[in-house]
């Protein structure tokens, strides 16, 4: 599933082509996504202007202003979805379910083979059920070690599960949680409530550093993900632990351990992380 850096990469890829453009036509070829696409979506947004392409956690927020309605398209890529900027006459593929035709000639095309993504409409997105309970953005100033320390007190939850909880912080998905915990020297199974403030400061900075690097390098190369320009990301080449179980730790040389936590692959160094 595309994680926060992949979604942010998509946002940055499509925003220059879409912002301040009028939606000339909306084509919904198959609205049977994770939740049905609203039947009246074309009537709501055709003729309206895309004012901004934003992101909240893994959701793309396409903000629209028009005479029929003003609100936000809440778009999730699901497990296999991608948004592509189409500037040529290429015909849609079998899984190209939704397409926005803009007056500048660009078509924003949504492809989702597994149909686990979503296109929903909300006039009050901040209070939408998908967004209302989300924690802070990891790159925002309000996310820091002090926040993690305060929210973790008394919790026996493994710290990896703790930072992957979207109510605590959004976007620290499995790959990036592995990487950040390694950089901070924290064992993924250590109880969240037994980690000191100073170590949480290191972990918060490691999360910020890891996600910032992934965004800069275009996200992590996943099997089903492509950027808006059709090119895969390259951050996978820089992974320190994820996907490297049994290989030497790049810090101490000992073999990295691989276990399963909550049905997710977890890779760590038993010597460097405690």
Q: Check whether 95 is labelled as a binding-site residue.
A: yes
CA 264/CA 56 separation, integer angstroms: 23
Judge whether 257 counts as a catalytic residue: no
114 is in an annotated binding site: yes
Nearest to 72, CA basis, from 90, 59, 85, 88:
59
Two structure tokens written together for 256: 């990295």
CA–CA gap between residue 181 and residue 202 (Å, rounded): 9
Residue of 192, 198, 156, 163 whose CA lies nearest to 177: 163
Any catalytic annotation for residue 107? no
> Which residues does 12 contact at the CB level (< 8 Å), separation at least 6?
none
11 has catalytic annotation: no
Using CA atoms, how far apart are residues 245 and 19, in angstroms rounded to an integer?
Answer: 43
264 a catalytic residue: yes
- From the list 3, 8, 99, 179, the catalytic residue is 3
3-state SS assignment for residue 4: helix
Specify whether the CB–CB gap between 23 and 46 falls below 8 A: yes
Which one from 63, 115, 190, 264 is the annotated catalytic residue? 264
167 annotated as belonging to a binding site for a ligand:
no
| Annotated catalytic residue within 11, 55, 58, 183 | 58
Please identify which of the residues 2, 5, 158, 188 carries the catalytic annotation. Answer: 2
**Share in percent of the chain as helix, strand, coil (round to 5):** 25, 25, 50
Which residues line the annotated binding site for DNA?
A: 95, 114, 155
Active-site residue numbers? Answer: 2-3, 58, 264
Which residues line the annotated binding site?
A: 95, 114, 155
């Amino acid at each position: 599933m595309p994680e926060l850096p992949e979604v942010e990469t998509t946002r940055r890829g499509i925003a220059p082509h879409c912002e301040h453009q009028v939606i000339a036509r909306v084509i919904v070829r198959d609205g049977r996504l994770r939740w049905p696409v609203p039947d009246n979506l074309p009537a709501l947004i055709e003729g309206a202007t895309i004012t901004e392409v934003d992101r909240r956690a893994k959701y793309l927020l396409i903000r629209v202003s028009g005479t029929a309605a003003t609100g936000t398209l809440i778009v999730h890529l699901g497990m296999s979805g991608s948004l592509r900027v189409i500037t040529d006459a290429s015909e849609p593929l079998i899984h190209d379910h939704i397409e926005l035709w803009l007056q500048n000639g660009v078509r924003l095309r949504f492809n989702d083979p597994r149909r686990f993504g979503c296109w929903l409409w909300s006039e009050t997105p901040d209070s939408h059920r998908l967004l209302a309970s989300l924690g802070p953005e990891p790159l925002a100033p309000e996310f820091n070690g002090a926040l993690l320390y305060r929210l973790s007190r008394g919790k026996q939850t493994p710290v990896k599960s703790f930072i992957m909880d979207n109510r605590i912080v959004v976007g620290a998905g499995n790959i990036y949680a592995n990487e950040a915990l390694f950089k901070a020297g924290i064992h993924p199974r250590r109880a969240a409530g037994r980690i000191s403030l100073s170590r949480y400061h290191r972990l918060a900075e490691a999360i910020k550093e890891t996600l910032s690097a992934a965004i800069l390098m275009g996200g992590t190369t996943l099997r089903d993900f492509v950027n808006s320009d059709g090119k895969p990301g390259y951050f996978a080449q820089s992974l320190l632990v994820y996907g490297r179980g049994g290989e030497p730790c790049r810090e101490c040389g000992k073999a990295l351990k691989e276990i399963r936590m909550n049905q997710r692959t977890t890779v760590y160094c038993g010597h460097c992380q405690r």
